[in-house]
């Protein structure tokens, strides 16, 4: 995806992983085009053959896929818009942060007026061709020593990324989410490995990767071994990431910066679960020479987490609501499947008022967020609360979130100007 000019997928939708990542990179994407059949050297779109090497034009706004190359025009910045955004910043109460994983994305975010990073997804730092073999080495490790060696290599890579990110943000708050996805996402496709094994094409490493893929394969990985659960199985992962972050903080302090860093633990569902991992992270911090104060918080991504927010707040300096997963788990909808098959029908038949992955559900999901905020602040009155799902860049959602006491929203860098205007509109509407 990183080297692609645009993204076209047969599955997914507006809130699918491919769409979210493409938005963050500012690349056009059409996800969930089910009428596409993929061959080895061609694709079929509604029966029409497109060979490898042919050009397609895709419109991420309308969802159109057009054969051939279309002329595009670069839109220059509009001075009047910059003035309007400045006025908007003067009246809005909601802070606007960005979902950004690299220094390049952080620069775009700052150019668009972001006041910090509300979500840095550290797993994206592992997915390039140079680093993927290293995390696979960690997964394949048979001894603690082998795992520690691989984690040290990963630490060096993460350190460099964190240094660049903190340098770009120049003291603005940066919220770093520790590793979230299940480990199988870093392994080759298991079906392709099985086919290669059947053809006797796997070498020793390929056979080992097949064994690991079978070991970590899950029927429903979205609610399986990921996030904080993975940290309990492999505590070295979060410890390594914390050390890399602390080293980067020390680097920026030595350079004269004053980095503001928050560590976010994903997918917690109980106070005991959160407390144990927080203690591990605090032990690493206490052993390090970094002198800055670091906040440790959690993502609220499940209905249970929202309902036991009073318990989670005892061990958390801040909450960040991951409304993509919270929406999935509240509705029982898979964002990678439901949009392309069911969503259009449900909207046409008025079974839903709006796509809940686009506009936050105003009956159940927003109520869970409100309950989570209320119960969390009953335990800790000064608890900071953010929202880092795709709803953070949607004007309708921003209005609802501002009304229930959210401190900031975080969205992909290209959507920040929209969020700034929407937050100002919400403040003016509330005042009037």
DSSP string, 94-152: SEEEEE--SHHHHHHHHHTT--SEEEEEGGGGG-STTTHHHHHHHHH--SHHHHHHHHH
Secondary element (H or E) of residue 36? strand 36-38
pTM for the model stands at 0.89
Cα–Cα distances (Å) from 207 to 131, 193, 203, 316, in that order, read 20, 8, 6, 42
Q: What is the DSSP letter of 40?
A: S
Tokens of 106: 């952080």
Q: Which residues are catalytic?
A: 17, 388
Pairwise CA distance, residues 264 & 167, whole Å: 20
- One digit per residue, pLDDT tens: the chain, 432 residues? 667 888 888 877 776 767 777 776 778 888 877 778 888 788 888 888 888 888 888 888 778 888 888 888 777 778 899 999 999 999 999 999 999 999 999 999 999 999 999 999 999 888 878 889 999 999 999 899 999 999 999 999 999 999 999 999 999 999 999 999 999 999 999 999 999 999 999 999 999 999 999 999 998 999 999 999 999 999 999 999 999 999 999 999 999 999 999 999 999 999 999 999 999 999 999 999 877 789 999 999 999 999 999 999 999 999 999 999 999 999 999 988 888 789 989 999 999 999 999 999 999 999 999 999 999 999 999 999 999 988 999 999 999 999 999 999 999 999 999 999 999 999 998 766
The DSSP 8-state label assigned to residue 171 in this structure reads T
CATH of domain 79-181+222-334+356-431: 3.20.20.60
d(CA 227, CA 224): 9
Report helix, strand or coil for 310.
helix
Q: What residue ranges do the domains of the chain occupy?
A: 7-67, 79-181+222-334+356-431, 183-217
Residue 44 bridge partners (DSSP): 37, 49
Report the chain's terminal Cα–Cα distance, integer Å: 45
pLDDT in the model for residue 60: 80
Contact 178, 263 (CB under 8 A): yes
Residue 219, Cβ density class (10 Å: 0-12 exposed, 13-18 middle, ≥19 buried): exposed
Tokens (6 digits) for 200: 């006797």
Instruction: State how far the Cα of 37 lies from the Cα of 392, in Å rounded to an integer.
Output: 34
How far apart are alpha carbons 188 and 201 in whole angstroms? Answer: 14
The whole-number pLDDT of residue 432 equals 62
* Distances in whole angstroms, Cα of residue 328 to Cα of each of 93, 223, 337, 374: 29, 10, 11, 22
Question: What is d(CA 302, CA 228) in angstroms, rounded to the nearest whole number?
Answer: 13
Q: How many CB atoms lie within 10 A of CB 293?
A: 9
Tokens of 383: 């608890």
SS3 of the chain: helix, strand, coil, percent, to 5: 50, 15, 35
- Give me the pLDDT at residue 341, please: 82
- Distance in angstroms (rounded) separating the CA atoms of residues 122 and 115: 20
Angle between helices 79-91 and 416-431 (to 10 degrees): 50
Please determine whether the domains at 7-67 and 79-181+222-334+356-431 fall in the same fold group of CATH: no
CATH no. of 7-67: 3.50.30.10
429 SS3 class = helix
Write the CB contacts of 16 (distance below 8 Å, at least 6 apart in sequence).
9, 31, 32, 335, 336, 339
């Amino acid at each position: 995806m990183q080297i692609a000019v645009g993204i076209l997928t047969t599955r997914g939708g507006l809130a699918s992983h491919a769409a979210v990542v493409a938005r963050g990179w500012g690349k056009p994407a059409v996800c969930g085009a089910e009428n596409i059949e993929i061959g080895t050297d061609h694709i079929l779109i509604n029966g029409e053959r497109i060979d490898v090497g042919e050009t397609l034009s895709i419109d991420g706004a309308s969802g159109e896929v057009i054969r051939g190359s279309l002329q595009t025009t670069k839109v220059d910045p509009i001075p009047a818009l910059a003035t309007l955004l400045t006025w908007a910043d003067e009246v809005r109460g909601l802070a606007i942060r960005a979902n950004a994983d690299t220094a390049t994305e952080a620069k775009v975010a700052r150019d668009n007026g972001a006041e910090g990073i509300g979500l840095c997804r550290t797993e994206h730092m592992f997915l390039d061709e140079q680093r993927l073999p290293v995390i696979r080495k960690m997964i394949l490790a048979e001894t603690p020593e082998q795992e520690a060696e691989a984690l040290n290599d990963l630490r060096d890579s993460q350190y460099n990324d964190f240094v660049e990110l903190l340098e770009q943000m120049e003291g603005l708050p940066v919220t770093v989410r520790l590793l979230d996805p299940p480990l199988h996402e870093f392994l080759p496709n298991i079906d392709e490995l099985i086919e290669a094994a059947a053809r006797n094409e796997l070498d020793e490493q390929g056979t080992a990767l097949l064994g690991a893929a079978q070991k970590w394969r899950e029927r429903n990985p979205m609610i399986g071994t990921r996030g904080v659960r993975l940290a309990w199985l492999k505590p070295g992962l979060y410890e390594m990431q914390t050390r890399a972050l602390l080293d980067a903080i020390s680097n920026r302090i030595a350079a004269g910066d004053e980095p503001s860093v928050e560590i976010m633990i994903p997918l917690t569902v109980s106070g005991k679960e959160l407390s144990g991992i927080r203690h591990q992270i605090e032990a690493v911090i206490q052993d390090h020479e970094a002198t800055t104060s670091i906040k440790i918080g959690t993502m609220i991504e499940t209905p249970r987490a929202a309902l036991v927010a009073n318990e989670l707040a005892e061990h958390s300096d801040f909450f960040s609501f991951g409304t993509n997963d919270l929406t999935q788990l509240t509705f029982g909808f898979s964002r990678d499947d439901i949009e392309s098959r069911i969503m259009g029908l449900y909207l046409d038949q008025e079974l839903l008022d709006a796509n809940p992955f686009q506009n936050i559900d105003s009956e159940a999901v927003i109520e869970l967020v409100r309950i989570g905020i209320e119960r969390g602040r009953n335990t800790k009155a000064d608890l900071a609360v953010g929202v880092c799902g795709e709803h953070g860049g949607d004007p309708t959602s921003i209005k609802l979130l501002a009304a229930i006491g959210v401190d900031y929203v975080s969205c992909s860098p290209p959507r920040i100007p929209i969020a700034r205007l929407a937050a100002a509109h919400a403040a003016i509407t509330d005042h009037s």
